[in-house]
Chains A and B, each alone.
Chain A
Amino acid sequence: MAGAEGFVEADNAEAIIIRIEHKSRKIESLLKQGKPIEALKTALEGAPPKTQDERCKSANWIVVHRALMAIKDVDFMFSSLDPEYYDILMKYLYRGLSTGDRPTCDQCLRIHEKLTEKAGLGCILRCLADTVNTV
């Protein structure tokens, strides 16, 4: 049973990585058009669910990171971001904070403060407690 699931994972991983590459091309084009918020929404949308594969998670993180660093106006971003994205954004923010790279951390800290104001402490707690869907 575990072996069969292992195979399904591998196939899925390849499919997921191809999907992430498509997504990153779409995001690059959106960023060139000057729409960083749509880019971020696209990046957060197809987040691979229930994948244990580190490569998929890293690939998706790189894409989200690209979109996050392009955001200049944080308040404007929140006015057009739907609440359903708050939890997944918070998870990616913590991943960004753990990298230790100065510009990433600066940007993540800025967004984190505003996101906590909007989404509240429950969002942070869901990040802490969700050991199944890690990012």
Chain B
Amino acid sequence: MSNTLRLYLACIRNTLDAALCLQNFPCQEVERHNKPEVELKTSPELLLNPILICRNEAEKCLIETSINSLRISLKVKQADELENILTKKFLRFLSMRAEAFQVLRRKPVQGYDISFLITNYHCEEMQKHKLIDFIVQFMEDIDKEISELKMSVNTRGRLVATEFLKQFV
């Protein structure tokens, strides 16, 4: 199964490599405004085709590009109810601190767990391949984090239950 993960991440990395071709583009409608076009979607000529890459029924990644910005939305694998809650809480925790991450979006796109918004300014300040490395590394680490959290919740639950039930033995 790790082979599909490797292929999935390779596919996303290649697509991002090709799609991260951003340049500065001031707003066409309003003077002196500069907005990320992928968020507003006002002019169709500035948008490229959105790409949806699914690994299986549960995990997918939506990549939408425009002339000056790129939006990546991820849906993380959630096997059961506990993972569902853990993922939601953990990713909400991260999204609330989006300022620190710079490329993170405060609210995920509808239907996904977490979203990134990369603009041309980010590409000017930071190196493109490092941005892509960050996103791919994030995807790998999220799975590990969620399994670790789940294991610690289960271990703690077991310890607490053992201690509590000892008094009835």
Chain A residues with CB under 8 Å of chain B are 94, 97-102, 105-106, 109-110, 112-113, 116, 121-122, 124-125, 127-131, 134
Contact = CB atoms under 8 A, between A and B. Distances in A.
Given A98-B51, A113-B10, 7 more contacts: A97-B51, A100-B54, A105-B54, A106-B7, A109-B10, A109-B11, A128-B65
B60 interface: yes
Contacts of B4: 106, 109
Interface residues of B, number: 24
A99 B52 CA distance: 8
Interface stretch (B14-22, B84-92, B110-118): B14-22
Contact of B18 (A97, A105, A125, A130): A125
Contact of A113 (B7, B52, B54): B7
A99 B54 contact: yes
Interface of B: 4, 7-8, 10-11, 14-15, 17-19, 21, 44, 47-49, 51-57, 60, 65
Given A94-B51, A109-B4, A128-B48, A100 B17 contact: no
B49 A127 contact: yes
B163 to A, nearest CB: 43
Contacts of A110: 7
